[in-house]
Amino acid sequence: MIKTTIRDENIFDHKTDCLIIHCPEEKTPDDFLKKIDARLQGAIGRAFKDKRFEGKLNQTLLLNSNGSMKADNALLAGVGKKEEIDAEKIRQASGSAARLAEKSCFKKIACYVRSGEFKTAGRKEAPGAPDAMACATAEGMYLALYHFDAYKSPDKDNDKNRVGEIVLLAPDKSRRDAILRAVDQAGKVADAAFLARDLVAHPANTATPSFLADTARAMARKHGVTCKILGPAEMRKLGMGALLGVARGSHEPPRFIVMEYFGGGKKQAPTAVVGKGVTFDTGGISLKPAPNMDEMKMDMSGAAAAIGLMQAVASLRLPVNVVGLAPATENMPGGSAIKPGDVLTSMSGKTIEVLNTDAEGRLILADALTYAARYKPKAIIDLATLTGACVIALGHEAAAVLSSDSGLAEKLKASGAAAGERVWELPLWPEYEKALKSDIADLKNIAGPSVGAGTITGAAFLKAFAGDCPWAHLDIAGTAWTGEDKPYVPKGPSGFGVRLLLNYLQNNA
C-alpha cells in the first residue's frame, strides 16, 4: 500500500508536488475555492468563467502555483452538485485526480479533506467512526493507483514516475483520529480488492486451481480465517459429480476451497458467499471461438472476489459470521472431458443433462450451493462470470442480480450503489425454471435458443440447488473486467464484488 500520512497543516503551508482539492459543481468558485483562487491570481475564477472547469464529476484542472503556495501544483477535482455528493462521487473524483497526478509524474501528492463543507460525503457518522470523506478519498486513490507488474521486466523509470506518498490534510486536529481510522479502513479494503484483481490478472498457467487454493490458504493463515481445501478424493466422497464432471477434461486437479470466519455470535447463522472459479474456460467440447479466448482466464473472478472478501472481513474484524466457498477447476476439451448429452449426478442427488459443456459454471456452482446449504446460512450469495447474455443485457456498467428473496435483492442493490459496484435486478419467474426440465434427467444445463433469456435461465438452474434459505445470484460477466480505464478501476480486472459484499455484510449481517 502507498505510504499515507495525516497532517493537520495549513493548506497553504504544506509542501508537496501536487495538492488535490475537491470542488463542487458551481457557476463560480465557492467560498473555500475563492481563498485558493486569491493565491493563484484568479486562475480558478477564469477557468470557471471560460467553462474550462465547472466542478462536474471527474472534471480535473491542473494549475501551477508559481510559488504562491508551498504546493508546486494545485489539482482541482470535480465532485458534481453539492447536494448530490456521496461517497461514490468522492471515490471517483479522488481516483481521477490521483491517476492524472501519476500521469504527470508527481511522486508525492496531498489532498485536503473537506469534511465540513461536504458534510460526511452523504452519510451520517457515528462517534468514533472513520471519517467518511477521508475514507472515500483514500479508497478512490488507492484503487486508482493499482498496478500489476508480476510479469514485466524490472523498470526503474516506471517506479520513479509513480506516486510514492499520499498526505491527507486534516481540516483541524479534532478530525485527525477519525481520518487515521479512515485511512486504515480504506487500506484494508483496497488490499482485499487488489488480492482479487491480482488473482484475475495472473495468466491461467499460473493461476491454476491449486494456485487459487494455495493463495486462499496463505490469506487465511495471515488473517485468522479457517481454511480447508478439498481435492478430488474428498469431492468424490461428497458426491460432487457436477464439479468433477467439468474437471474431467483437464490435467489440473480441481480444488474446492472452504473459508470460514466466525466473528459474530455463536448462534448467529453465517452468510455463505460462493464464487465461481473456472481458472480457464475453453468451453470444453462445446469449444469457444478463438478470438478473445485469452480473456477466459478471468472466468474465476467470482472465486477471486470470494477470497478477497474473506480477507477484507477478517482484516477489519467485522462482528459477522461468513463462509466463503470457491469451486475451482479448468474447463478443457481433453480426451476424458464430458460431452454434450452426458448426464452428471450432483451432490444434491439431482441429475443434470449436459447439453452444452460451455455452460460449465452453473455445474460447479450447483455442488458448491448444495455444500453451502449445509451451514444453514441466513443467506447464500453467489458471484459468477456466468453468461455472455448478461453483457448483452447490461453491458459493463452493472451486474445482474436474481434472487429467491426480494428483500435480499434490494439490500444488494443498495450496497452496490453505496460501493460503486452497481447491480440491476432481473426477474426469476416459474416459466424460466420449467424451461430447464430434461427429458432424461432432472434438469438440463441450458434452456435452448427458443427460450432466450440466458442470464435468467442460468440463475433458474442455480436456484434448484440453493435450498430453502434466501439466495441471490450475481452475474458479474460484464463487470469483472474492464477494457478501458475508469476513475478508480484501471483497465483489466476490477475486483468487482469485494466492496459490494463487504458493504452488505457491514450493514446487514
C-alpha cell at 446: 441450458
Give the mean pLDDT of 286-305. 97
Of 135, 164, 193, which closes a domain? Answer: 193
What pLDDT was estimated at residue 194? 98
Q: Which is higher by pLDDT, 159 or 163? A: 163
Judgement on whether residues 177 and 234 belong to the same structural domain of the protein:
no
Of 193, 211, 246, which closes a domain? Answer: 193
The yes-or-no verdict on residue 418 having pLDDT over 90 is yes
The yes-or-no verdict on residue 124 having pLDDT over 60 is no
The yes-or-no verdict on residue 34 having pLDDT over 70 is yes
Q: At what angle do helices 87-103 and 132-144 cross, to 10 degrees?
A: 40
Give the mean pLDDT of 418-423. 98
Residues of the domain holding 26: 3-193
What pLDDT was estimated at residue 128? 66
- pLDDT 10s digits, 86-115: 999 999 999 999 999 999 999 999 999 986
Let me know if 376 is a catalytic residue. Answer: no
Q: Which residues, listed in sequence order, are joined to residue 121 by a DSSP beta bridge?
A: none
Catalytic residue among 99, 197, 248, 362: 362
Judgement on whether residues 252 and 371 belong to the same structural domain of the protein:
yes
- φ and ψ at 384, to 5 degrees? -160, 140
The yes-or-no verdict on residue 125 having pLDDT over 60 is no
What pLDDT was estimated at residue 158? 66
The percentage of the chain sitting over the pLDDT mark of 70, rounded to a whole number, equals 96
* Helix, strand, coil percentages, rounded to 5, for the chain: 40, 20, 40
Judgement on whether residues 100 and 212 belong to the same structural domain of the protein:
no
> Residue 18 belongs to a domain with what CATH number?
3.40.220.10
Judgement on whether residues 116 and 70 belong to the same structural domain of the protein:
yes
- pLDDT 10s digits, 40-84: 999 999 999 999 999 999 999 999 999 999 999 999 999 999 999
One-letter identity of residue 493: P
Helix residue ranges per DSSP H, 166-208: 176-201
> Residue 291 belongs to a domain with what CATH number?
3.40.630.10
* Alpha carbons 490 and 478: distance in angstroms, whole number: 15
Judgement on whether residues 346 and 364 belong to the same structural domain of the protein:
yes
C-alpha cell at 466: 440453493
The yes-or-no verdict on residue 122 having pLDDT over 60 is no
Torsion-angle region of 448 (φ positive above 0: left; ψ -120 to 50: alpha; else: beta) = left
* Alpha carbons 265 and 443: distance in angstroms, whole number: 38
* Burial class of residue 224 in the structure, from the number of CB atoms within 10 Å of its CB (0-12 exposed, 13-18 middle, 19+ buried): exposed
Judgement on whether residues 186 and 210 belong to the same structural domain of the protein:
no
What pLDDT was estimated at residue 453? 95
The percentage of the chain sitting over the pLDDT mark of 90, rounded to a whole number, equals 92
Judgement on whether residues 281 and 387 belong to the same structural domain of the protein:
yes
Judgement on whether residues 76 and 14 belong to the same structural domain of the protein:
yes
* Alpha carbons 55 and 194: distance in angstroms, whole number: 30
Q: Look-up: residue for cell 469449444?
A: 287
Give the mean pLDDT of 132-143. 97
Which residues neighbour 399 within 8 Å (Cβ) at sequence distance 6 or greater?
A: 390, 416, 421, 422, 423, 424, 474, 475, 476, 478, 479, 496, 497
* Alpha carbons 494 and 470: distance in angstroms, whole number: 27
Q: Residue 404: enclosing H or E segment and its boundaries?
A: none
Give the mean pLDDT of 395-411. 97
Let me know if 362 is a catalytic residue. Answer: yes
Judgement on whether residues 189 and 241 belong to the same structural domain of the protein:
no
What pLDDT was estimated at residue 155? 74
What pLDDT was estimated at residue 491? 97
Give the mean pLDDT of 411-420. 98
Judgement on whether residues 164 and 208 belong to the same structural domain of the protein:
no
What pLDDT was estimated at residue 118? 65
Of 193, 218, 241, which closes a domain? Answer: 193
Give the mean pLDDT of 420-430. 97
The yes-or-no verdict on residue 394 having pLDDT over 70 is yes
C-alpha cell at 432: 424460466
Judgement on whether residues 260 and 393 belong to the same structural domain of the protein:
yes
CA 45 from centroid of its chain's CA atoms? 38
Q: Residue 2: enclosing H or E segment and its boundaries?
A: none
Give the mean pLDDT of 394-406. 97
One-letter identity of residue 503: N
C-alpha cell at 362: 452453473
Q: Which residues, listed in sequence order, are joined to residue 331 by a DSSP beta bridge?
A: 281
Residue 358 confidence class, pLDDT cut points 50, 70, 90:
very high
The secondary structure of 110-177, three-state, reads EEECCCCCCCCCCCCCCCCCCCHHHHHHHHHHHHHCCCCCCCCCCCHHHHHCCCCEEEEECCCHHHHH
Q: Residue 434: enclosing H or E segment and its boundaries?
A: helix 430-434
Closest by alpha carbon to 366, among 284, 245, 226, 449? Answer: 245
Give the mean pLDDT of 472-487. 97
Catalytic residue among 107, 217, 288, 378: 288
Judgement on whether residues 152 and 223 belong to the same structural domain of the protein:
no
Give the mean pLDDT of 185-197. 98
Specify the number of domains making up the chain.
2
